[in-house]
Chain A
Amino acid sequence: MTLNPVINVTAGKTQMPFDTVLIANRGEIALRLIKACKSLDLKTVAVFSEADKNAPFVAAADTAVPIGPSEASKSYLDMEKIIAAAKLTGAGAVHPGYGFLAENAEFAQKCVESGLVFIGPSAGLIKKMGSKIEAKTVAIEAGVPVVPGCHSPDQSDTKLIEAAAKIGVPLMIKASAGGGGRGMRLVVDLSEFEAELGLARKEAEAAFGDPAVLLERYVENARHIEVQVLGDRYGNTIHLFERDCSIQRNHQKIIEEAPAPNLPENVRSEMLSAAIDLSKRVGYDSAGTVEFIYDTNRQEFYFLEMNTRLQVEHPVTEAITGIDLVQWQIRIAMDEALTLKQDDVQCSGWALEARVAAENPEKNYLPQTGHISNYQPPEIEDVRLDSGIAQDSLVSHYYDSMLAKVIAHAPNRNSAVRKLKHALEEFEISGVGTNKNFLIDILSLHDFGVARHHTGTLSVNYPAGWKATKITSLDQAVAVLAGYLAKKKNVVAGPWGRNGAWRITQGVGVPATSHFVLQDALGATHDIEILEHADTYTVNIGGEPVANFCNVSMNERQLTFEHEGQVRSVTASVQGDRVLTSSNGNEVEIQLLRSEQVYLSGKGSSASGGNQVYAPMPGLIVDVLVAKGQSVEMGEPVIILEAMKLLQKLEAPASGVVKEIGFNVGDTPEKGAVLLTIDPETQSS
């Protein structure tokens, strides 16, 4: 008698079970994936580039495989290397995380062909939803509202101009294959349409290798709301509520929350149903996100796109639902059926996430690099930190500038906002500049507090760009005091250091003056004098008395002092000459230097005038806009440098004639390299 074999009833194939997952990503998300694998008793394999060899995720994985140089194109984007690493280590599955190869259908296909399970939707789904035009067609078929627009395979000028007229202004031209804000142009006047179309095509071609564009009505005061869905290979599909990701800078999300605040219930339920309908229609079989744009004026929403991957902001959904999305992604990839029913998914409380990035929000989010010299994560109940860095980590220019995500969960929105602010204030990262204060400021915006924010909120509130709270000379004096006290301990041990700036004359009213030079964040230097008498420290900056501090005490992390009758405490960290103080999120960074470090620098070395263009950070030269011998005006862009995925226009520091260009397109100069020299003398008229 033959027994019918008991097999998994699957979508038509039997899949090899796996016990090892290769993590085809880096940073915080690699750590997040490793954690989920561990909770499912799966072994993990990390792959890492040269720049990441000491990164925390490499140590966290059971096995780690080097996959080449720091440039992502030669490591994390190199499909062959990643598949070879999986073969080498016997990994049975690959989790791509987000970014890099996460939405690359070719990679998903290659994995399957190599006998690996791709943790995510099938290659066909990725391809289908990856094309904005195709995705929109599917949405229309599923009865999901879409933004009025033109998603035509006919890319002729005539067709697009005609469509633009129909849609009306304002309208947005987008790269069909795009994302992340690149290749997007806003048209507010139809007469500018043709010119903008040309630029958009060029950018799309450069960024994605495809000049195809689509047109869309531009919704003013729009909110970005997205629905998290989860589907399996057995036709089960549920939603895990929505997220509001309207706080964006340069079209990139920085603060996300769940659920979406200030959203009429009928709109919410329609939106959730629409997401389910769309997912079901395509047979979506993993974790995915259906993004909508919500028109607050019309109270209407339109389908934007579907992301066929885990989102950066997935933790806010996990917080309010208590469901581990990565676990389910993996379980679904293991052919498990989704045992969760829609009714099992409950929304509890409020969650907010802030993305802490190594960037300067005062300088158009210029990426910052360096070594993490001090790292103190917040330790607050119901605050989750997904971080890719640790003490001494290297933040290089090769990858995205996001360092960590801070997620706060609380019973209601107001408490969640407060908790997130508190967590950001407690989160100490030194050694590299971050957007922390910017995030804290955003959380304090009135528009955000009353949930009247939209994707334009930041430009409305910071029309001239965000500026950090002005650092006062008192703030600087506090930093000087912290630096002085720390340095004093290290100058010389024994009585010669222990007694401070002791003088035989201090008892007769002639205390010693300790001299330093303060260099502020902008590089300006100021003479510092510190007078110690009895238990009081007087700090003079640039010859002007700034403050008297008494009852001063300092430990490893904190400086406490009395100033004008008030006892204050600030967190202070001193590494070498670098002093960082922070109180209530207000950070001050100075360099406290000795005279010889300032007055002797540049002496004896080659002269450097104000006629050279330096690389502000290491990067790739993507364009040189001038030629040797050409006349340039001061402020004219001369070189385009790509660093950390952003293009920077470097401007001529003086008017004159280009005398020398030190690098060519494709070169990767180090920070400080002289890129171009201008001869101001020979300026042609």
Chain B
Amino acid sequence: MVAIESKLDVRSELFVQNQEHYENLLNVWRERMATATSSGRPALKERHNARGKILVRDRIDRLVDAGTAFLELSPMAAWGQYGGDLSSAGIVTGIGIVSGTPCIIIANDATVKGGAFFHETVKKHIRAQEIAEAQRLPCLYLVDCGGAYLPEQDRVFPDRDHFGNTFYRQCQLSAAGIPQISVVFGGCTAGGAYIPALSDQVIMVAENARIHLGGPSIVKVAINEDVDGETLGGARMHTTVSGVSDHLAENEIEALARLRDIVANLNMERLPSFTAESAEEPLYSSDEITGVISHDRKIPYDVREVIARLIDGSDFQQFKPEWGESLVCGFAKIHDHPVGILGNNGALFSESALKGAQFIQLCDQRNIPLLFLHNITGFMVGTEAERGGIAKNSAKMVYAMSTARVPRMSIVIGGSYGAGNYGMCGRGFRPDFLFAWPNAEVATMSADIASNVMLELRRGKHDGGAAEAKELEKIENDVRAQYGEQSDPYYATSRLWDDGIIAPDQTRTILGLCLSIIRSTPDADKFSPVYRM
């Protein structure tokens, strides 16, 4: 292969201007990330600690193997919603190494609305289970929640992808041979009780942990029985009497130690590619990526400058470099994992789409995972394009991408609009992982085009009479406001349209972590579920 020769001039005015612009975006990202990952209000955290409880991310630090990575997913879920009070949607999910085994960790944050389930909490929980299923990762539930958030019950409880689905998935995962282990740190009432109850193995922490289908107040109302929480569903009772729990831990540290010990015996082996060794660093620093990305979307840049800063040794074997040039395709390695990269250098034409389809098929044949770098305004429009069959040609790329059997990952490194988002493997096409950069925009079209389209539609309306200037102005303002708000990457990540907003210089590391997971997933076999006795 041949290394990409960067033409980037780091002393150019444009480079400096681009970096300054991006630094502002990163400052916003850093501030929001820090806020979102700081759990609940200080007073709530103090109360938490006073009960001998450890904060959720500290629990994870103690759970995972020292000196190994933890890939947190969607840390800014629910950002800007519910009055800004729902940090990380009250749940921390991610992939971490426990006793040498990569696991999905799903951990409630009791300092955020008591760890109750909101719409995004459920969505995040399910997304983590989805990854566990696809990648055959054991699920470790650090349970510290009171069940569904009742005022939002219509958005949390009834639908097919609501709370009930998390339990359905737990059963299915267990049946598929993917261990489900719970540690109960706090009170688990009603729905919350089913997370441990449906787990293969359960650990409860003395004093703090409770499991009951109905708490003391419900019991009083329902059957007029006076009972305290500890007697009704305490850790000791469940471990020594009911058998709901398998292990009693004196404190949280011991509970986490016990969980590590259990995971050590799960016998979850991955394919050897999980431990791909020593990778060559790119020839160019990832710090320069922010100087590549144009501060103005209208100024194009060469996506190969980005690719050169993500791949091993900047070594890139281009596919059809001189045909369909608006879609850059090529083979590379990231952290020693082979990967087929598709990146946009402008709108997709028929040729680019056909090239993309062929490249995807090559990767599929060769068992090479796909990486889509989105910076796409869409597929080409116009008479020439239509006469050239852009509709069927773009569809070929969508077909190939949709049915490829190899793992797929997407990074939204710029705009991702309309059918371009489809062709480049947007969220609807279920890529194994999808992350966005702080400059990402995902929408049917940009705010500019959307307002013009809406104005055209209004003008062409037959029954509304001639549009007045004032009305047109309002339409334009409304559409711009709507698209502006909704194509903001934080709006997207808040709603779990991605697995998180990441900084450009983190991208290579994250891709390495993801690749070593998706390339080491063993074939599913036949397993049977574990029933709690």
Are A514's CB and B67's CB within 8 A? yes
A543-600, CB < 8 A from B? 594-596, 598-600
Among the 9-residue stretches B112-120, B146-154, B161-169, B250-258, the one with 4 or more Cβ atoms under 8 Å from chain A is: B250-258
A86-132, CB < 8 A from B? none
Are A514's CB and B258's CB within 8 A? no
Q: Does B355 contact A (CB under 8 A)?
A: no
Shortest CB distance A257–B (Å): 48
From A484, A493, A507, A508, give the contact of B67 (CB < 8 A): A484
Are A492's CB and B253's CB within 8 A? no
Are B509's CB and A501's CB within 8 A? no
Q: Which residues of chain B come closer than 8 Å to A514, judged between CB atoms?
A: 61, 66-67
Closest residue of B by beta carbon distance from A487 = B67
Are A496's CB and B516's CB within 8 A? yes
Closest residue of A by beta carbon distance from B276 = A494
Say whether, besides A496-B516, A594-B66, A600-B261, A505 and B72 are in contact (CB < 8 Å).
yes
Are A503's CB and B70's CB within 8 A? yes
Q: Does A383 contact B (CB under 8 A)?
A: no
Are B277's CB and A494's CB within 8 A? yes
B229-276, CB < 8 A from A? 253-254, 256-258, 260-261, 264, 274-276
Q: Which residues of chain B come closer than 8 Å to A503, judged between CB atoms?
A: 69-70, 72
Are A497's CB and B75's CB within 8 A? no
Q: Does B37 contact A (CB under 8 A)?
A: yes
B97-117, CB < 8 A from A? 97, 100, 102
* Bound Cα distance from A487 to B510, whole angstroms: 22
* Bound Cα distance from A499 to B508, whole angstroms: 11
Are B513's CB and A496's CB within 8 A? yes
* Bound Cα distance from A453 to B414, whole angstroms: 81
B275-294, CB < 8 A from A? 275-279
* Bound Cα distance from A614 to B213, whole angstroms: 49
Are B335's CB and A494's CB within 8 A? yes
Are B69's CB and A502's CB within 8 A? yes
From A493, A499, A500, A510, give the contact of B34 (CB < 8 A): A510
* Bound Cα distance from A491 to B67, whole angstroms: 8
Are A492's CB and B97's CB within 8 A? yes
Instruction: Give a binary string over A461-498; 1 marks a CB under 8 Å from any B CB, 0 the rest.
Output: 00000000000000000000000100110011111111
A581-624, CB < 8 A from B? 594-596, 598-600
Shortest CB distance A182–B (Å): 49
Q: Does A513 contact B (CB under 8 A)?
A: yes
Q: Which residues of chain B come closer than 8 Å to A494, judged between CB atoms?
A: 274-277, 335, 512, 516
Are B516's CB and A495's CB within 8 A? yes
Q: Which residues of chain B come closer than 8 Å to A599, judged between CB atoms?
A: 253-254, 257-258
Closest residue of A by beta carbon distance from B58 = A513
From A496, A507, A515, A598, give the contact of B69 (CB < 8 A): A496
Q: Which residues of chain A come closer than 8 Å to B75, judged between CB atoms?
A: 504-505
Closest residue of A by beta carbon distance from B69 = A502
Instruction: Give a binary string over A499-534; 1 marks a CB under 8 Å from any B CB, 0 the rest.
Output: 111111101111011111000000000000010100
* Bound Cα distance from A512 to B66, whole angstroms: 9
Shortest CB distance B261–A (Å): 4
Closest residue of B by beta carbon distance from A530 = B66
Are B257's CB and A491's CB within 8 A? no
* Bound Cα distance from A496 to B516, whole angstroms: 8
Are B66's CB and A487's CB within 8 A? yes
Say whether, besides A494-B335, A504-B72, A513 and B61 are in contact (CB < 8 Å).
yes
Q: Does B188 contact A (CB under 8 A)?
A: no
Are A515's CB and B62's CB within 8 A? yes
Shortest CB distance B283–A (Å): 19
Looking at chain A's contact residues, is the secondary structure mostly helix, strand, loop, or mixed?
A: mixed
* Bound Cα distance from A501 to B62, whole angstroms: 12
Are B37's CB and A600's CB within 8 A? no
Closest residue of A by beta carbon distance from B262 = A596
Q: Does B14 contact A (CB under 8 A)?
A: no
Are A508's CB and B34's CB within 8 A? yes
Q: Does B506 contact A (CB under 8 A)?
A: yes
Using a Cβ cutoff of 8 Å, how many contacts connect chains A and B?
138
Say whether, besides A492-B97, A495-B516, A600 and B257 are in contact (CB < 8 Å).
yes
Are A505's CB and B254's CB within 8 A? no
Are B67's CB and A504's CB within 8 A? no
Closest residue of A by beta carbon distance from B508 = A495
Shortest CB distance B107–A (Å): 14
* Bound Cα distance from A512 to B72, whole angstroms: 12
Are A491's CB and B71's CB within 8 A? no
* Bound Cα distance from A596 to B97, whole angstroms: 15
Q: Does B502 contact A (CB under 8 A)?
A: yes
Are A595's CB and B260's CB within 8 A? yes
* Bound Cα distance from A88 to B62, whole angstroms: 63
* Bound Cα distance from A595 to B257, whole angstroms: 5
Q: Which residues of chain B come closer than 8 Å to A508, judged between CB atoms?
A: 30-31, 33-34, 37
* Bound Cα distance from A497 to B512, whole angstroms: 11
Are A484's CB and B516's CB within 8 A? no
* Bound Cα distance from A551 to B258, whole angstroms: 36
Closest residue of B by beta carbon distance from A592 = B66
Most chain B Cβ neighbours within 10 Å, of A504, A507, A510, A594: A504
Are A501's CB and B34's CB within 8 A? no
Shortest CB distance A598–B (Å): 8
A280-300, CB < 8 A from B? none
Closest residue of B by beta carbon distance from A604 = B247
Q: Does B477 contact A (CB under 8 A)?
A: no
B15-72, CB < 8 A from A? 30-31, 33-34, 37-38, 57-58, 61-62, 65-72
Say whether, besides A504-B72, A513-B61, A594-B66, A491 and B100 are in contact (CB < 8 Å).
yes
Shortest CB distance A245–B (Å): 50
* Bound Cα distance from A521 to B84, whole angstroms: 50
Are B260's CB and A502's CB within 8 A? no
Closest residue of A by beta carbon distance from B254 = A599
* Bound Cα distance from A505 to B513, whole angstroms: 15
Q: Which residues of chain B come closer than 8 Å to A594, judged between CB atoms?
A: 66, 257, 260
* Bound Cα distance from A515 to B64, whole angstroms: 9
Closest residue of A by beta carbon distance from B30 = A508
Are B260's CB and A504's CB within 8 A? no
Are A510's CB and B30's CB within 8 A? no
Shortest CB distance B395–A (Å): 36
* Bound Cα distance from A569 to B440, whole angstroms: 47
Are B503's CB and A501's CB within 8 A? no
Q: Does B500 contact A (CB under 8 A)?
A: yes
Are B58's CB and A595's CB within 8 A? no
From B31, B65, B71, give the contact of A504 (CB < 8 A): B71
Closest residue of B by beta carbon distance from A594 = B260
Shortest CB distance A533–B (Å): 14
Closest residue of B by beta carbon distance from A597 = B257
Most chain A Cβ neighbours within 10 Å, of B38, B66, B276: B66
* Bound Cα distance from A491 to B275, whole angstroms: 11
Closest residue of B by beta carbon distance from A531 = B61
Are A595's CB and B256's CB within 8 A? yes
Shortest CB distance B249–A (Å): 8
Are A495's CB and B61's CB within 8 A? no
Are B34's CB and A495's CB within 8 A? no
Are A509's CB and B70's CB within 8 A? no
Are B509's CB and A495's CB within 8 A? yes
* Bound Cα distance from A600 to B263, whole angstroms: 14
Q: Which residues of chain A come closer than 8 Å to B62, judged between CB atoms?
A: 515, 595
* Bound Cα distance from A507 to B500, whole angstroms: 15
Q: Which residues of chain B come closer than 8 Å to A502, judged between CB atoms?
A: 69-70, 509, 513
* Bound Cα distance from A499 to B67, whole angstroms: 8
Are B30's CB and A493's CB within 8 A? no
Q: Which residues of chain A come closer than 8 Å to B34, judged between CB atoms?
A: 505, 508-510
Q: Which residues of chain B come closer than 8 Å to A513, judged between CB atoms?
A: 58, 61
* Contacts A495-B512, A515-B61, A596-B257 supplied; 18 other A-B pairs, CB < 8 Å: A491-B100, A493-B276, A495-B69, A495-B515, A497-B69, A499-B513, A501-B61, A501-B67, A501-B69, A504-B71, A505-B57, A505-B72, A508-B30, A509-B34, A513-B61, A595-B62, A596-B264, A599-B254
Q: Which are the 3 A-B pairs with shortest beta-carbon distances?
A: A488-B67, A514-B66, A493-B275
5 A-B contacts (beta carbon < 8 Å): A494-B274, A497-B69, A497-B275, A501-B67, A508-B37
